[in-house]
Amino acid sequence: MNIRDQPERWEVVGTTEHFKGYVVNVRTDQVRMPNGDAMETVTRDVVGHPGSVGILALDADDRVLLIRQYRHPVGRLLWEIPAGLRDVAGEPLWRLAARELAEEAGVRATEWHTLLDFYTSPGMSDERCRIFLARGVSPIPASEIDFRRVHEEADMPVVWVPLDEAVGKVLRGDFHNPLAATGVLAVHAARSAGFGDLRAPDAAEE
């Protein structure tokens, strides 16, 4: 057996659109279950999402970059990695990641790799996320910054945390953001393997 995720799409015999918002939309699909001769139809609610990217920036001292951002749905200030929506049609994902790293943290990187791909909540949403590993990092001079942070990003501290310390915080439940938790653990595993299995920044999504 090939233990690997694979594309599959069961028949949708009906769809009801409920909501279309600024970022997400909500629909209900009637999905036909392939149960042999008895074809059963069930209801599945789906949150449509454009997708996202995250950036795990790792400096020469093996520290990871974290930002703190207010998240209204959960009522918390969460420590996260820089991230952003796939909201520019046709933009290469690693370029989007570089833009988000600059805008949210004021940092640039010279070395990019694909760290991991995952669905954030596949039981209810089609949101797909790719996390990049950014190395060769350096601050962007203030004279080159031409954007302004607003709303939740207006007061967003940036810190560098030793990777091993960040791993401990994930395992103790100090971090709740899924991109931060998976990114920290993934880069820790990648470092243990000498970063030998990393994919190119423009690797195809499968």
Domains of the chain: 12-48 (no CATH), 52-192 (3.90.79.10)
Q: How many CB atoms lie within 10 A of CB 166?
A: 27
On the question of pLDDT at 168 being above 70, the answer is yes
Tokens of 84: 């952003």
CA distance 179 to 52: 10
Place of tokens 């392939």: 34
Q: Chain-wide mean pLDDT for the chain?
A: 93
pLDDT of residue 154: 52
pLDDT of residue 47: 97
Q: What is the pLDDT of residues 60-96, one digit of tens each?
A: 999 999 999 999 999 999 999 999 999 998 999 999 9
CA distance 29 to 42: 8
Which residue in 98, 99, 93, 104 sits closest to 69, CA to CA?
Answer: 104
Tokens of 170: 């994930």
Place of tokens 């420590």: 79
pTM for the full model? Answer: 0.91
Q: Which amino acids are annotated catalytic?
A: 153
First-to-last alpha carbon distance for the chain, in angstroms, is 18
